[in-house]
A = this chain, B = another copy of it.
Amino acid sequence: MAAFFGTYTNKVDKKGRVSVPARFRAAIAGSAYPGVLLAPNEEVGAIDGSDFERLNQVIEGLDDPELYDDEAMAQAHETLAMVQEFPVDGDGRMVLSQEFRDFAGITEEAVFTGIGSTFQIWSPDRRNDHRTSGGRTGSSLASMRVPRRKDV
């Protein structure tokens, strides 16, 4: 499974091109398709990203009645309808569409944040606001719990 983590800030040139962080590229390497999948995240005003493998898992999950009730299903459909494919070129860059840049308020720079099996793309300002708001006290890697191994 692709694992995305860390924060990277890259320039967006006048063509709308931006380098996908090398570590993220490595995470999606070997995937069936050399690119990423992006969708607006309306909750936070950023862009969500993932690879094909993750999307396939999500799609499979839709068939599980325990995961989705009617309301959640309708919402999931809306989200899937917003997903777009962005190829990554030979130099490791993709072209962020004007539509998505406008949505996320991205102009000169884009901030990539890895959050596990997916990642997000932010404008620097919004990223800062989001990070400093919410009053989250510093968590730490050492304090994060892992699922207790189930003895079967």
Contact = CB atoms under 8 A, between A and B. Distances in A.
Contacts of A67: 145, 147
Q: How many copies does the complex hold?
A: 2
Contacts of A142: 41, 48, 50, 115, 118, 120
A7 interface: yes
A94 interface: no
A81 B115 contact: yes
A64 B5 contact: no
Contacts of A59: 1, 3, 116-117
B81 A113 contact: yes
A131 to B, nearest CB: 7
A18 B125 CA distance: 34
B79 A140 contact: yes
Interface string A91-128: 00000000000000000000001111110100000000
Nearest to A4: B80
Nearest to A26: B85
Pairs A-B, 9 closest by C-beta atoms: A42-B138, A57-B146, A48-B141, A81-B113, A5-B83, A77-B115, A41-B140, A59-B116, A79-B139
23 contacts: A3-B52, A3-B56, A5-B55, A5-B81, A7-B81, A7-B82, A41-B140, A43-B140, A50-B141, A55-B141, A60-B147, A61-B144, A64-B147, A67-B147, A76-B144, A78-B131, A78-B139, A79-B140, A79-B141, A83-B141, A115-B142, A118-B141, A151-B152
